[in-house]
Structure 1
Amino acid sequence: MTRAPRLGTLGFMAWTEQRLDPERSRRRLQLLAELAGAKAVRARERPRRLRYDQLRELIDTRRRRAG
């Protein structure tokens, strides 16, 4: 007799819990904090950059009409 395979289970892998070592956990938290900081800077800079781009476009349009 052969054993029928069990479908839909991961066996023991589903129940094992990985423990991160403290150094890896600290580095991960530091990386996430730096990423959040970078996103915040980008969010602040975006409106300013958009205004500058619109102003440059307006200046270029006026120069083309005058020239």
Structure 2
Amino acid sequence: MPDQEQQRRPVGGPAPEGPVPGEPMESDAERRRRRAVFLRELTEARELRARVQPRRARAARMRHQMRMRTFRW
């Protein structure tokens, strides 16, 4: 089934604006569940990168702190 979905939607392409013909409407609960899984995997990937490249991760944290310090509300 994932192979069929990849054929319909090219990777990196824009998301379709409306429902795809022949595909049932996605419920809000299903969309939230998929989003939660995606965010969990993204966090896991960031933690892994921080462990594998500690110097780069520390530099990124410092840059983020400087950005937040200089941001004006």
Higher relative contact order (Cα pairs below 8 Å, separated by 6+ residues): 2
The answer to which structure has the higher helix fraction is 1
Q: Give the TM-score category using the shorter length.
A: 0.3 to 0.5
Structure with larger Rg: 1
Q: TM-score, normalised by structure 2?
A: 0.41
Q: TM-score, normalised by structure 1?
A: 0.45
